[in-house]
Amino acid sequence: MAHHHGMKKKTRDKLSKTIRARGISPVVRAIQEFQPGDKVHVHIDPSIHKGMPHPRFHGRTGEVIGTRGRAFVLKVTDGDATKTIIALPEHLTAQR
């Protein structure tokens, strides 16, 4: 068979919820706001496909540098490189 290199390959555990967390996400997560300069964690919500960043950024911490519509533009380090990713607020949590 041919090799499949889709965006969600090898994410069976990474993009799955625990048994108690299944179902729709709370609305509070969708309406949260961040300001430029805020530090946020990228925590992908697998039940919301729209605005999902690439799974390689799951668990990373980035800095908000702006907005694009309802989404936030983040600056995340990936090894030595600095990457710019766009994610909806459902996939972000504030750094404590």
What was the pLDDT predicted at 3? 84
Domain boundaries, the chain: 27-94
Task: Give the Cα separation of 36 and 12 in Å (integer).
Answer: 33
Residue 8 has pLDDT above 90, yes or no: no
| pLDDT single digits (tens) 29-70 | 999 999 999 999 999 999 999 999 999 999 999 999 999 999
Mention the CATH class of domain 27-94. mainly beta
What was the pLDDT predicted at 2? 84
Edge-to-edge strand ranges of the sheet holding 71-78? 81-87, 71-78, 61-68, 39-42, 92-94
Across 16-39, average pLDDT: 94
What was the pLDDT predicted at 10? 87
pTM above 0.75, yes or no: yes
